């Protein structure tokens, strides 16, 4: 992708991306008008765009969807992964497809406008994806103005001034602000998200660093009672709840920055032998609590159909099996930094990066991918069952 290929606005263009290197990518705006600055990433999923836009892990990011036809599922109130969208905007190839789904309640473009999120269509998303793969995730401004007029110098200055995700504790910005309980299970046709609160259940306290709701639903389905607490809840306040186990959620930003307040709490839980399960950011924070390190990835892993192999000898009876997973992360655990008491249990078959750890001397483990996203579609649900079953 070169500056010359994108410097001229096509006829009728009402939106553009301004990259920090000066490149311009023109298109047709939809959703809200205005501009937003963040990191540009790409997602390879064919559907689930509403879930992606409302996943708190995408805070500070603008998502390029590699699948060209976005919108045919529409949007609805049941498929939010959080109270509101957290991705800043999205980039797509074709104009938004009219909805054609019995669960649809609103056109995706109208939904984007309602929630103040900017979209850009008419973009060669393959070229944009190659650019990210080759040069890394750029800092960009996405802008939409119905008259097609933009102050490009001002937008370029915004893109260049944005500090990036490294060093950002975004979990503190997207977490809930109070302790709540959760009792609904997974969605079922004709029933929706029905409550499941039968009998005695092990009590899991879930620390919300930017959690997806479907994680809580799967914990309930696996047989747990779930209490959700904000990201900066103290160790003492967690212990007062008398958890049988603690879940560390996914979330956005730099794990090292969030670790400043999260790691001491996790270390305190480990010292008390409280079982722990972490997903994505929670997995990274668990690794940091053991003394391992995390690193910023070149382009990150985001989307469906990511193959992950189970490699931890003795940790799972099906060592060597490959799971088809869903991922969303721009940071990763540095496998070389794992201490002797931590074993690597899963690895990416795309690039060999770490996708799972387990402590050898504690009932604590984490995975980098998202088992609740139903890839495969049930390849990874065993993780919820393993955690809840291990609580006794």
- Annotated catalytic residues are 280, 370, 372
Helices (H) and strands (E) in the chain, counts: 11, 17
Q: Which phi and psi angles does 261 have, rounded to 5°? A: -105, -25
| Cα of 215 vs its chain's centroid, Å | 12
Phi, then psi, of 121 in degrees rounded to 5:
-115, 175
- What is the three-class DSSP state of 153? helix
- Contact (CB, 8 A) for 357 and 283: yes
Other C-beta atoms lying within 10 Å of the C-beta of residue 377: 11
* Three-state secondary-structure class, residue 308: strand
Half-sphere exposure of 318 (CA within 13 A, CB side): 10
Q: List Cα–Cα distances, 40 to 102, 282, 292, 325, 330, in angstroms.
A: 32, 23, 28, 22, 11
Q: Look up residue 96 and give its DSSP letter.
A: P
The alpha carbons of the chain give a radius of gyration, in whole angstroms, of 21
Residue 265 · residue 274 · CB < 8 Å: no
């Amino acid at each position: 992708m070169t500056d010359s290929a994108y410097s001229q606005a096509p006829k009728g263009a009402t939106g553009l991306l301004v990259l920090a290197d000066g490149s311009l990518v023109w298109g047709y705006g939809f959703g809200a008008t205005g501009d937003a600055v963040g990191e540009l990433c790409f997602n390879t999923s064919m559907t689930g765009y509403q879930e992606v836009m409302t996943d708190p892990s995408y805070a500070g990011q603008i998502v390029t969807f590699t699948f060209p036809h976005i919108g045919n599922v529409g949007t609805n109130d049941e498929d939010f992964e959080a109270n509101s969208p957290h991705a800043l905007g999205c980039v797509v190839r074709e104009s938004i497809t009219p909805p054609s789904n019995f669960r649809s309640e609103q056109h995706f473009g109208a939904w984007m406008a309602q929630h103040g999120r900017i979209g850009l269509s008419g973009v060669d998303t393959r070229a944009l994806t190659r650019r990210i793969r080759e040069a890394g995730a750029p800092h960009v401004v996405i802008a939409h103005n119905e008259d097609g007029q933009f102050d490009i110098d001002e937008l370029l200055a915004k893109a260049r001034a944005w500090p990036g995700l490294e060093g950002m504790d975004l979990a503190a910005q997207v977490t809930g602000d109070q302790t709540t309980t959760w009792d609904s299970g997974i969605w079922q046709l004709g029933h929706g998200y029905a409550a499941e609160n039968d009998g005695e259940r092990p009590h899991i306290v879930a620390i919300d660093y930017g959690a997806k709701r479907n994680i809580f639903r799967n914990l309930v389905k696996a047989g747990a009672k779930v209490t959700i607490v904000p990201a900066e809840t103290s160790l003492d306040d967690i212990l007062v709840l008398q958890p049988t186990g603690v879940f560390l959620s996914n979330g956005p930003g730099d794990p090292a920055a969030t670790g400043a307040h999260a790691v001491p709490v996790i270390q305190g839980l480990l010292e008390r032998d409280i079982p722990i399960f972490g997903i994505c950011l929670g997995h990274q924070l668990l690794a940091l609590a053991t003394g391992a390190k995390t690193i910023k990835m070149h382009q990150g892993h985001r989307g469906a159909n990511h193959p992950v192999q189970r490699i931890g000898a003795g940790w799972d009876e099906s060592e060597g099996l490959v799971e088809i997973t869903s991922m969303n992360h721009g940071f990763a655990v540095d496998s070389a930094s794992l201490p002797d008491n931590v074993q690597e249990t899963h690895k990416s078959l795309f690039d060999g990066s770490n996708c799972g750890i387990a402590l050898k001397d504690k009932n604590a483990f984490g995975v980098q991918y998202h088992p609740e996203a139903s890839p495969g579609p049930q390849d990874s649900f065993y993780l919820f069952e393993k955690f809840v079953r291990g609580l006794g």
